[in-house]
Structure 1
């Protein structure tokens, strides 16, 4: 595979065959689990292959593997990278290989998510890991080109919203000390392994930054989206030991996460009418202060 074009489902299925050949794995019977930022395949031999959907990202892929290797030395329950030379550059698409913790996606209860994050935040990464500092608005700036998929009025609204949040973020006084963070912590990234133990997955966004970033999505999903019950959220707070909703900076981080979720979807809006309709709905609720409980998960 030598193309530099973004990956489709058809090209992903061809890519997994080539990716397996590079490290001596058998692709027979591979199952496409997800086609998002990565094409994720499960192989018969309890192995996960993740192929970057877009070209580039070798540095980030190498970071994910390095983080996994470090967490393994700490005995921390996270995704385990296979003992092969990786990442592999497949025509510009980064490929990584992982042990499959489970044959299905069963998500951990929020009490276990809170405990796992508390334990993660107690770790001190070695300097050799060279984790970047969290730069939340750099990510939004990188996605700004996707605004071209929207109606000009909606695009202008999101740009103004981002500028407002950028300014508001400068005044946020964080309550927790900075340190290593997952960067995209939510119940969807903590699965149960075959023995029913929680495992942290999707190590793409690991960085050094305010630990509140790892708490805000759970609070947001409870408070604004209604995806968690009050009892579930309280179990998370008790397990972690801090309620971000009682912290004055919470609304800024929650507003950022709403925009981030919407900007990611903007990238799909150009070729997916369902995504485009969802973006229009989200922008309207952001503009009017409407309920987020009608937002559809993607």
Structure 2
């Protein structure tokens, strides 16, 4: 099931989609919205188009295009960019990358499918200068700061949402999340890691592997390789997934993060990431807004046993 949008949000994203399709020569064929969290992801025939807007999205897309050459060089199993189109595609504030569609079974992939591609990715010995250094708390701070730059109507929506869903004013919510950043930042800086630092995918959950190939490279960076193991452990502890698939992944990868002293702080970092990732993108997305409300209520209450739902 694809993401639900209000009519206004659908109209806005449609304008961006039409513009980049025209620029890329993909004007024909029905576009099916597969999901929309940070990017709107469409399937158009045998292509997949990932659409976003803004300067941060533009820089990220340019970095992803450069990174795909690195991954090809090191034979990392990954979905492939459409090289017949100059990438990324940029029109006004809109930016898109276009990929070859990779047929894959319906349903969420088995986590063990991530093991081999991550082993290959983590074998890259170089640390390319164009990749940013892993800085998750800085990213969270940037997302919180962006709320102050929202257009007036979007800011009002987000203020009303915070009051209704989180029982806090938006200012108080932001203040409490900044306190979490202040607490985590020095502890992350002082942490030591058991695995070497290197190229990391940055969001290696089971939904980002298709037929044994990695996808969604927006979060590629240079950081602790443990970070790429966090989503699978977190899926069992926070999203109610069974533990056995993670255990098979850990055996195949060769390292069990759940038994590592790094896991508790990395869980905290992951949860900060997940409660700030779409905070500035809520208008027009009622299901996402409701899901984030539940996450934030339980996160701020310190309820580590509450089950979270995934965005659709």
TM-score tier by shorter-chain length is 0.7 to 0.9
Secondary structure at 1:202 match in 2: coil
Change (3 A) 1:271 1:16: closer
CA root-mean-square deviation:
2.5
Match of 1:109 in 2: 110
Q: Is the 8 A contact 1:55 1:92 kept in 2?
A: yes
Q: Which stretch shifts more, 210-219 or 144-153?
A: 144-153
Counterpart pick for 1:266 among 257, 264, 279 = 279
Counterpart pick for 1:224 among 231, 238, 242 = 238
Q: Which stretch shifts more, 207-216 or 283-292?
A: 283-292
Match of 1:72 in 2: 72
Query: In 2, distance between residues paired with 1:79 and 1:10?
Result: 29
* TM-aligned CA deviation for residue 186 of structure 1: 0.7
* Unaligned 5+ runs, structure 1: 1-6, 193-197
Q: Is the 8 A contact 1:37 1:53 kept in 2?
A: no
Change (3 A) 1:103 1:288: closer
Count of residue pairs brought into register by the alignment: 284
Residue by residue, what CA displacement relative to the aligned partner does 1:259-279 show, whole Å, maximum 9, x if unpaired? Answer: 111112432456656545444
Q: Is the 8 A contact 1:37 1:54 kept in 2?
A: no
Q: Is the 8 A contact 2:125 2:198 kept in 1?
A: yes
* TM-aligned CA deviation for residue 237 of structure 1: 0.6
* TM-aligned CA deviation for residue 218 of structure 1: 0.9
Residue by residue, what CA displacement relative to the aligned partner does 1:58-106 show, whole Å, maximum 9, x if unpaired? Answer: 2211111122233233332212111121112111211211111127754
Residue by residue, what CA displacement relative to the aligned partner does 1:160-196 show, whole Å, maximum 9, x if unpaired? Answer: 222111122122111111111001111111122xxxx
* Unaligned 5+ runs, structure 2: 1-7, 149-157, 163-167
Query: In 1, distance between residues paired with 2:122 and 2:104?
Result: 28
* TM-aligned CA deviation for residue 230 of structure 1: 2.0
Q: Is the 8 A contact 1:87 1:94 kept in 2?
A: yes
Residue by residue, what CA displacement relative to the aligned partner does 1:106-142 show, whole Å, maximum 9, x if unpaired? Answer: 4431112122211210123574x62121111110111
TM-score of the superposed pair, with normalisation by structure 1: 0.85
Secondary structure at 1:8 match in 2: helix
TM-score of the superposed pair, with normalisation by structure 2: 0.81
Q: Is the 8 A contact 1:107 1:191 kept in 2?
A: no
Higher relative contact order (CA 8 A, sep 6+): 2
